[in-house]
Amino acid sequence: MVNEVLTLLKNAEDYLSGEEMSKVLGVTRASIWKTINKLKEQGYTIESSTRKGYRIKEVPNIITKSEVLEELHTQLLGREIVYYEEISSTNEEAKQLAREGCQEGLVVIADQQLLGKGRLGRNWSSPAGTGIWMSLVLRPPILPLQASTLTLVAGLSLCEAIEAVTGLEARIKWPNDIVVNGKKVCGILTEMSAELEGIKYVILGIGINVNTPHFPEDLPYASSLYLEGKQQYIRKDILKEFLMRFEKDYFTYLEVPTFQNFIQRYEAKCITLNKKVKILASSQEYVAYAKAITEEGMLKVVTEQGEEKIILAGEVSVRGLYGYVDEEKEKGV
């Protein structure tokens, strides 16, 4: 009912009476009144006049199903949306829905996460009213081994979507952090359920700090689009731009599931390349020079001994980013 009343109000040129709406929608005037109150609770400013009815004055900066669905030009991604004011983790909810057999393209969105997750059991700070916390259910007909390239494609679409909406210079720290002015503004957590021969589902969890005004002291390398761009952004614009761009890239990817078609675009945005990096591989740590991205989406590096290595996953610190300073620099040499 909320969606229907909202659509009527948004399409109306002037005030719309409760009676008119109840007739069009075939419900009682009391139920229209209740729905108007719900909309007000969600933050809509609705003017009401006893004689003329209701009129929307201001739409809040929210990412509810009805706001995201409006003018979302996709065929698959986001055709089904589940929205929560508050949830433990959108990835957990998406996993549950995927296990229950939901269709591909379903998106779980939350205004706030109480237990937002990063990779390797880390936390993801997800306060209310400021960011985009979302998880996408995909069922790609690819091998489990190929899933990491899919995450890279999503990171690329996300980086380009942020640039398109905000005009900020967004960059990718391989494999998946989106960075603006050297600080992390987005993270991606991909989880998957697979058998040897195929994937049951992939959950693509995306966190974007949009209008976060400040971060706790223990997150010195985090930032938001607001802090970097010095202005507030409309959250649904970024969310929709991402879904539309990623859908296009996802369909291209499914035609030939390698990273080949994306390398050029990715390299143009990747700040890890042509830099000194520190690789934390299982128990060993070493310094190398990041040279290229492979067709499989891996990072090609050259060690200080001149040996070429391919990094599949693991932590890669980029010199000059997130507090990674050269030892010589630290000593003031």
Query: How many whole angstroms separate alpha carbon 206 and alpha carbon 224?
Result: 14
CB 242 within 8 A of CB 77: no
Question: Residues 35, 66, 135, 317: which binds ligand BT5 (CB under 6 A)?
Answer: 135
Q: Which is nearer to ligand BT5, 21 or 156 (CB)?
A: 156
Binding status of residue 189 toward ligand BT5 by CB under 6 A: yes
Choices 41-49, 75-83, 126-134, 247-255 (CB under 6 A): range interacting with ligand BT5: 126-134
**Residue from 147, 222, 227, 298 in contact with ligand BT5 (CB under 6 A):** 222
Binding mask 81-120 for ligand BT5 (x = CB under 6 A): --------xxx---------------------x--xxxxx
Output the residue with the shortest Cβ distance to ligand BT5: 187
- The number of residues that bind ligand BT5 (CB under 6 A) is 27
12-20, 146-154, 160-168, 203-211 -> range binding ligand BT5 (CB under 6 A): 203-211
> How many whole angstroms separate alpha carbon 213 and alpha carbon 208?
13
Stretch 36-75: interaction string toward ligand BT5, x if CB under 6 A: ----------------------------------------
Whose Cβ is closer to ligand BT5: residue 161's or residue 189's? 189
User: Cβ of residue 186: shortest distance to ligand BT5, in angstroms?
Assistant: 8
When binding is defined by CB under 6 A, the residue of 2, 46, 219, 292 that contacts ligand BT5 is 219
Residue 206 within binding range of ligand BT5, rule CB under 6 A:
yes
CB nearer ligand BT5, residue 203 or residue 298 = 203
In the complex, the residues that contact ligand BT5 under the rule CB under 6 A are: 89-91, 113, 116-120, 122-126, 133-135, 184, 187-189, 205-207, 209, 219, 222
